[in-house]
Each structure stands twice: as C-alpha cells, then as structure tokens.
C-alpha cells in the first residue's frame, strides 16, 4: 500500500486539483461547483463574487478549523484580462495534510449514494490497495512541436524588446517578460496524476499544482494568507545548476554579482512591496536577495512577510488579484510591459503566468504564479517558459534560459516514472445546483 501520507497517491481519478509542497497541502477531485469567467470582465472580482454567493448558501461543519478545511475553491486565472479561461473549482472531495494533521472533506447535496464512504475508502488508512492510484505510465513516445514562435523568431522578438528598452522614450519601458510555448503529443491520453507525482518527486521545493488541466511545479509563491499573516517569495534572475559542486558554486556567485539580474530582480521586489506595503501594519522584506537552488536552476529570491491591517477585507484571492501581474512575469511599468508582451510574443498566454492556488471560506489560502507548467488536453500538452528582458539581455542567452525552464515539464511528460489527531470537516451547499457536503478528518 502507498504511504498513507502521500496525498498525490490517493487521487482516485485523473481529473484532479492539487497544491502540494513537500508532501503537505491539498488535493481534490470531482466538482461540486465551478465557474469559468469570460474575457472582458474583472475576472478576480467576478470570482470573489461567485464564491461569496456560494458560501452564503452553504452549511459548513468543520471540526478541524485549519486553513484548507471546510469549503475550499481551487483556481487558475489568465495572465491577461483579455484572455478567456479563468476558472474556480470547488471539488466534491478534498484531502489535506499539514502541521501533523490530516483531514478529509466531502462537498455535495447528500443525494449521491456513494457519499461519503466511496470517497473515504480511497484515503483512510483502512483503504484497500485497489483504491490507491496505480503506477500509470505515459507512453515514452512523445512528439515535440514548435509553438507560436520558433526559436529564431523568438530571439528576434527579444532583440526588439532590448532595442526598445535601450532607446528609452516616452513609454519608459525598463523590463518586459517574454514567454514562448512548445507543444507535446503523447501516444496515449496524459494522466495528470503521473505528471504531478513526477514533478513533486523531482522538484520538492516547488509548489506542485493542478487545476482544470493546468499542471506544473511553480517555485514562486505569489501570496500566502493565514489569518492576518501573509508571506510571499519573489523570484527573478535565473542561472542553470552546475555539473559539479565547484561549477554550481561559481554559477551562483556569478548571478549574485550580476548587475543585469540584480536589476531584473529589484523590479520584481518593488512591485510586490508597493502593493503589500499599504495593506500591512508591518511588512518585512529581505534587504538583499538570496540564492534559491532548485533541481535544474538557481534563482535570485527575496522573502516577504507581513501582518495585514484588516485581514477580514482581504482574502488570499483578493491579495493575489492586487499583486497580479508582478514585474516578475510582466515587467515595468506594468501597462507598458503588458502592451509590449501583446505586441511581441505572438501568442495568448492563457493561464500561464497567472495566479494559481486555493482559497477557503475564511479567506485563507495560497496562490502561486503558474510557471514551469503545461495545459493538458487529452494527448496534447502546451508548455510555457519565459524570461525577464532588460537592457543588458542577450537573445541567445535568454533562449537558453527558456529552454532550461521547459525541462521540468518535459521531464514530467517523457521522463521515467520514476496522523496523530482526527476531526471532522463538513460543508453542505444549499444551492440546488450544488451538492451538500459530508466530510471527515482522519490522521
């Protein structure tokens, strides 16, 4: 039997939502409620309004009382307000683990004769072996295709952005993040659970996520809210890992001393500080970046922590909305960078580089930026990678960086497959189109 603490191994079906970091977090399956928000609206406000209305018609019984228990919505929002496809999903079942506790919530109207025992059988210690996800495999034959811009054309787009930044001018563009995409076609339907498990095993320091077909492992925490306390991890500036400890250390020293990367990073930090500062009584921002070493890259990183002035008015989703888009994924000034992205990238990013994560009924939650990810549809996957472009950028070096950032999802697609307390968490949705919840918590 799989490790009882392995959240991802407990997913009973491929259609899943997930937010997992070092074995802790939330996974869910089924749909009790869902909204897909059209382009042209304030997608975050529309999502918050929908969620509040849903909560108003919900009966919640939650003996666990921790962030992520009770009713939880998982979400993934488009990078650009002009794009279609922002989504919030309330799963029928949520399994959580954190702080030495585990809990299980089911959400529905009580009419399903399989509730709650069929769900419970897939997660509790007494579960049969057959209820644990089998070691499904993705066929190793994966065909790769160019995306919207082939590599030479994307390099020319980078060169155009550098020229525009160096020329200055009335728009004052100082940084723009340019992304590219590639496509993969597998021989069989892609099982998102396999991608999640490969990513979580290889990149444990990232937040492994899935929501409505978007799956990935992001290193960047946009915002975490637990009561009145918030935190974020800002990343900008990237270099590969070395082939041995000496080369690895040399590359780390080089990026820490790089003026180009320092400039790129400071823009990202400033954009977060400028948003969160007015909302907090206290906001602590690292005075200088540190080196975050992941499996395949090293990033300049800055930690941000604060205490909200009025937590009741700012859910985790509302904070994510206020922060997006940061200079780490858009540029600076924001409006100018957004226009440059629309002009130069030659594609619609969809939900790539948008906020992805979860929020509960108390406004607690965690939202990252959808990086190192792919949109999965049947046998096909669309992968994304982006780079921050400033005056000192070199197109060939930026292309190499983008290719490095594709590797986590490439590995996930064609690589080798490589508690003590109990309580009760229950939420009933009174709205007829939703389902009431019967839930339980188990260690």
Active site residues: 175, 220
- Measured CA to CA, the distance from residue 264 to residue 267 in angstroms comes to 6
- Name every residue whose Cβ is closer than 8 Å to that of residue 257 and which is 6 or more positions away in sequence: none
- Measured CA to CA, the distance from residue 122 to residue 166 in angstroms comes to 58
CA distances from 64 to 5, 25, 67, 116, 218 (A): 17, 15, 9, 17, 28
- Measured CA to CA, the distance from residue 4 to residue 16 in angstroms comes to 18
Q: Which residues pair with 304 in a beta bridge?
A: 232, 285
DSSP string, 340-386: HHHHHS-S--TTTTSEEEEEETTS-EEEEE--SEEEEETTEEEEEEE
Going by C-alpha positions, the residue among 265, 237, 264, 263 that lies closest to residue 252 is 237
Whether residue 385 contacts residue 399, with contact meaning beta carbons closer than 8 Å, is answered with no
């Amino acid at each position: 039997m799989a490790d009882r603490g392995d959240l991802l191994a407990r997913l009973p079906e491929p259609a899943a939502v997930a937010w997992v970091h070092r074995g802790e977090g939330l996974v869910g399956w089924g749909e009790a409620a869902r909204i897909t928000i059209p382009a042209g609206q304030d997608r975050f406000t529309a999502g918050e309004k929908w969620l509040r209305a849903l909560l108003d018609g919900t009966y919640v019984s939650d003996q666990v009382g921790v962030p992520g228990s009770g009713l939880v919505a998982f979400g993934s929002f488009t990078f650009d307000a002009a794009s279609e496809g922002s989504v919030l999903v309330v799963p029928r079942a949520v399994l959580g683990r954190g702080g030495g506790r585990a809990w299980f919530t089911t959400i529905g109207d009580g009419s399903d004769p399989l509730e709650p025992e069929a769900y419970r059988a897939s997660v509790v210690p007494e579960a049969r072996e057959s209820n644990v996800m089998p070691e499904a495999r993705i066929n190793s034959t994966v065909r790769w295709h160019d995306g919207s811009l082939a590599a030479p054309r994307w390099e020319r787009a980078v060169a155009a952005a550098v020229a525009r930044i160096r020329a200055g001018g009335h728009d004052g563009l100082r940084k723009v993040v340019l992304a590219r995409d590639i496509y993969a076609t597998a021989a069989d339907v892609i099982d998102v659970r396999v991608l999640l498990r490969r990513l979580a095993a290889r990149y444990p320091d990232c937040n492994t996520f899935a929501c409505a077909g978007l799956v990935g492992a992001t290193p960047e925490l946009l915002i975490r809210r637990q009561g009145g306390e918030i935190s974020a991890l800002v990343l900008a500036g990237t270099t590969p890992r070395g082939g041995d400890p000496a080369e690895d250390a040399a590359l780390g020293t080089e990026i820490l001393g790089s003026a180009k990367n320092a400039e790129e990073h400071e823009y990202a930090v400033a954009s977060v500080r400028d948003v969160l500062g007015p909302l907090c009584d206290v906001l602590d921002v690292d005075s200088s970046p540190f080196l975050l070493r992941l499996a395949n890259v090293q990033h300049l990183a800055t930690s941000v922590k604060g205490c909200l002035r009025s937590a009741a008015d700012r859910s985790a989703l509302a904070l994510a909305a206020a922060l997006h888009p940061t200079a780490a994924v858009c540029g600076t000034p924001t409006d100018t960078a957004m226009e440059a992205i629309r002009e130069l990238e030659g594609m619609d990013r969809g939900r790539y580089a948008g906020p992805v994560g979860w929020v509960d009924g108390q406004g607690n939650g965690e939202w990252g930026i959808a990086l190192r990810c792919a949109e999965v549809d049947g046998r096909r996957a669309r992968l994304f990678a982006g780079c921050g472009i400033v005056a000192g950028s070199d197109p060939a070096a930026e292309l190499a960086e983008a290719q490095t950032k594709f590797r986590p999802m490439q590995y996930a697609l064609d690589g080798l497959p490589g508690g003590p307390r109990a309580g009760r968490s229950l939420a009933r949705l009174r709205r007829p189109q939703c389902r009431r919840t019967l839930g339980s918590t188990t260690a």
